[in-house]
Structure 1
Amino acid sequence: MAQYIKICFILVIAYTYIVGGSKNKSKNKLLVNRETPGPGCFCKLNGEVDDCQCKVESLDSLNNDQIYPRMKSLLSRNFFRYFKVNLHKECPFWADDSRCAMKNCAVEMCTQDDLPFGLKEEEDKESENKYIEKAQSEDCPTKADVTLGDIDTTISKESQQAFKDWTKYDDAQETFCELDDDTTGNCDYVDLLLNPERYTGYKGESPHRIWNSIYNENCFKAPDQSGYNSQSLTGMCLEKRVFYRMISGLHASISIHLSHEYLFPASTCYGTEKWGQNMEEFLRRFDHEQTDGRGPQWLKNLYFTYLVELRAIAKAAPYLEEEGYFTGDDEEDNAVKEGVLDLLNVVKQFPNQFDESKLFKGNKKEAQALKEEFRDHFRNISRIMDCVGCDKCKLWGKLQVQGMGTALKILFSGDGMGPQSTVKAGSKQKFQLRRTEIVSLLNAFGRLSSSIHAIEVFRRMIS
């Protein structure tokens, strides 16, 4: 009996050693893969980001530990969750004959009852003036002062003139995308939390035509390159490389969202659809072997786009610190302000910012011509978003392109250029952002942040 107990004891020790060793090996494998990415999707996700001084590892740490949790909390607040957009525009480039009829492509619009008090139509007529005047004077109307049941759709002469002044002012600034005219009845508020960006089933010729038009007709490329699968930037100047990497990074970010929030069909007739991570879809889009070696570079371009928008937020920090974030709810507005200040404190302390002062150097006339071409190409891409056949895809495409355009507007505005320069209200150029620009800027950056966080999720799943 004693001999039997001894044998059992030895077997238990051996089993514990084997299982423990396997767990440790698995853990060590994860650490090795994280620090030395190796082959597959992540083989280029280490070292310096192209055309920048920042390392991928530093951005992973900054984003996943500090930025992502703050963005997730901040973007759930009323000021940032309600986005006003025109989804009814006609495609200006071709007949839009491929509308998505699937239920997941539909966008749920907000009614007046859904909106915070400060965003209701009664307030819309004066909202832009309120932003000019900081939107929070003591004589703002209270809920008791406004009859919410009767909506006055007229616009006063003063407001009409203010909107015209806004248009002239915007045209005079470095605008990189076409903003929807939210003074008309064609724009609707959308609750972004109720209409999340994820896989809808929209695929095939229509989205291929969108991206092909963006890359082939509006992206700078080397003479021997064509199509959005090309990635050779040999012989291209810095400005053209920056443009391509920003668009490629945005494309990669959207692809990650679709893989991370993928729609799995019901397994039975009585089952329900489920959303979740689709590793097969992620590998199809980014694996080294399945993309002829291009996928890993597309992932790295995401980090470049992240750095550009991070720098824009840092440069606009003095302006954003003074913003009121008005929704009509003092407690909510104060919470948003505190959240923004907390985020900006983290962003400003990051040392390796993108340096926009390196762009458009050299011969002044040639540099100005290249800058105008850069801006025209990007404005054209913002128009292409109106050709997207899926309303939910169009919503998020317009938002993210507008956010990137706002970032570029910030980078090339203000009293100076370079890592130490800032923009603020009251500067020499009288810099100004509309509410829709602030909302799109932070939400677009939030999408990039969530993509980098999702990369870590996929990395762990693969490991």
Structure 2
Amino acid sequence: MAKVASEMAYRNYCVVFIIFALVIVQAVGYDTELYETKPCDSNACFDELHGSLGDCSCNVDTIDYFNNVKVFPRLQSLVRKDYFRFYKVNLKKECPFWADDSKCAMRYCHIKTCSKESVPGYENGYENDHLDETPVTKYTKEAQGNCGTDADHDHDLGYLNMTISAASQHEIAKWKAYDDALENFCGYDDKDVDAEYVDLLLNPERFTGYKGPSANRIWKSIYQENCFRPKPNPYSSFPFVMTSDLGNMCLEKRVFYRAISGLHTSINVHLCSKYLLFEKGAGFTTDGEWGPNLEEFQRRFDPSQTFGEGPNWLKNLYFVYLLEMRALAKAGPYLEKEEYYTGNPTEDEETRQAIHNLLSVIYSFPDHFNESSMFNGGSQAAKLKVEFREHFRNISRIMDCVGCDKCKLWGKLQTQGLGTALKILFSSKWNSPEPDPNQGKLPVRHKSHERLQRTEVVALFNAFSRLSESIRQLEQFRVMLRSLNEKPVFLTCAKGST
């Protein structure tokens, strides 16, 4: 009897051990690009995508209507203007964090650059209209006026040596670089010798076939090493913070994670909506056909495929949309004063009018993100703000590790756009003691102290356009799911899925 009981206990122990082992294998083996099973419920992606977003007073339905009806059409027209079409970027930088020669060999990964002479207005100062006069050039001998032409000027009595030695000029340049670094959330490579112009309309963001360990390593590094975490994550293949754990993080850390998650979600939505459905042609004439891939969208966002996190990731898309829209509203008066020069007076005036029209719509939004509640608390808050900025700078550098040029282009642009928005929201140079009480806009004070580089302006609007298009594309997937549900099709749940 005792022997039988012992054998039964042993068998029970083995069963429990096997079940436990299967659970661990499933959890550790999880990867956002590995699940191949179909979701159980085709509506699950959107069932929870409604109501309040959290950390702000807005809700999903309000943003859907406001974006799809008012913002999206205006943005689509604006970013096709010459000023916003051309983005200068260095795609030849080496990855600063790891040695990785995993380059995408597919032709869809490559981009078409354009010569600087082909950029509208380049020869007449396209690049220079955003350059501030630096102390290095301001105090050189060549920059000083000739006082000797004044008849009342006594050279001996009034002489003031305004020149600065080469060594001092070098030090002043370092001071300015240091001051800029305290405010910037991204590095800038548009002045690099390897930087080239890219026509964004000729290089649209879409799925290129770039995937696998190299691609996965990018986002794992971002989430595991550069996002704030409430506790260590035991699953290396699931690097995301569970929504249930976000409540254990302070507002600033939570905002950082949700902004990065929202950016990642937006990129995934783009890839699903412009998926490489199939190739056509042969040889060097081979081309692809892109379009929405509903199954891929469900695989990336359905709760059964994402430990229940997919709908929360979609909410984070709306969250980062609010954050970037608030930055545009805050810097609106400054942006309305920009010239948007391309050398074509008619085009430039149309661009200024389009900016004014878009910003007037953005000002009217009732529930903007409130950044004033963040980083309040003395030295501890100041320390957190520095850490916040350094984490984001690392993420912008990680984009140089992307092995697909087209993916790298859009990753760098959208990261710089978000970094520019964070700079506007959280840089002291953009704070005003007397904001507009109705709209919270930033009055134009000393423009030279608030000036954005041309690439920042281009990235800011294009990045917001990408978020706007992602939200618009969600409606497309909703329609596709409704059509699917109207057909007598039954999806079989994968064994063991929920």
TM range (shorter): 0.7 to 0.9
Match of 2:263 among 250, 271, 284: 250
Amino acid at match of 1:318: P
Correspondence for 2:159: none
What CA distance in whole angstroms lies between the structure 2 residues aligned with 1:345 and 1:299?
A: 27
Match of 2:222 among 214, 229, 233: 214
Q: CA deviation digits over 1:254-303, x for unaligned, max 9? A: 00000000011237879853110000110110011121211111001000
Matches within 5 A, 1:44-443: 44-116=48-120, 118-120=121-123, 123=125, 126-129=128-131, 164=173, 168=177, 171=180, 174-180=183-189, 182-225=190-233, 227-231=238-242, 232-266=245-279, 273-362=288-377, 364-412=378-426, 413-416=430-433, 420-423=439-442, 425-427=444-446, 430-443=449-462
- The yes-or-no answer on 1:457 pairing with 2:476 is yes
Structure 1 residue 224 displacement after superposition: 4.1
SS of corresponding position for 1:265: strand
Distance 1:70 1:365, change over 3 A: same
Tell me the TM-score normalized by structure 1.
Answer: 0.80
What CA distance in whole angstroms lies between the structure 2 residues aligned with 1:171 and 1:84?
A: 20
Matches within 5 A, 1:14-53: 39-53=43-57
Distance 1:408 1:416, change over 3 A: farther
Aligned length: 396
What CA distance in whole angstroms lies between the structure 1 residues aligned with 2:287 and 2:106?
A: 16
Distance 1:397 1:172, change over 3 A: closer
Amino acid at match of 1:114: S
What CA distance in whole angstroms lies between the structure 2 residues aligned with 1:111 and 1:317?
A: 32
Structure 1 residue 416 displacement after superposition: 4.3
What CA distance in whole angstroms lies between the structure 1 residues aligned with 2:366 and 2:344?
A: 36
CA contact (8 A) 1:424 1:431 kept: no
Q: CA deviation digits over 1:369-423, x for unaligned, max 9? A: 0010000000110000000000000000000000000000101222249885433
Amino acid at match of 1:246: A
Amino acid at match of 2:103: R
Structure 1 residue 173 displacement after superposition: 5.2
What CA distance in whole angstroms lies between the structure 2 residues aligned with 1:224 and 1:404?
A: 26
Structure 1 residue 96 displacement after superposition: 2.1
Amino acid at match of 2:195: C
Radius of gyration: which is bigger?
2
Farther off after superposition, 41-50 or 237-246: 41-50
Distance 1:417 1:214, change over 3 A: farther
Structure 1 residue 45 displacement after superposition: 1.4
CA contact (8 A) 1:229 1:294 kept: no
Runs of 4+ in 1 over 6 A off after TM superposition: 267-271
Distance 1:309 1:166, change over 3 A: farther
CA contact (8 A) 1:39 1:288 kept: no
What CA distance in whole angstroms lies between the structure 2 residues aligned with 1:442 and 1:299?
A: 21
SS of corresponding position for 2:348: helix
CA contact (8 A) 1:414 1:428 kept: no
CA contact (8 A) 2:421 2:460 kept: yes
Percent identity for Structure 1 against Structure 2? 53
RMSD between aligned residues: 2.7
Give unmatched runs, 5+ long, in structure 1: 1-36, 133-156
CA contact (8 A) 1:210 1:384 kept: yes
CA contact (8 A) 2:84 2:462 kept: yes
Q: CA deviation digits over 1:134-192, x for unaligned, max 9? A: xxxxxxxxxxxxxxxxxxxxxxx9xx99x959953861652111111x33321100000
Distance 1:44 1:115, change over 3 A: same
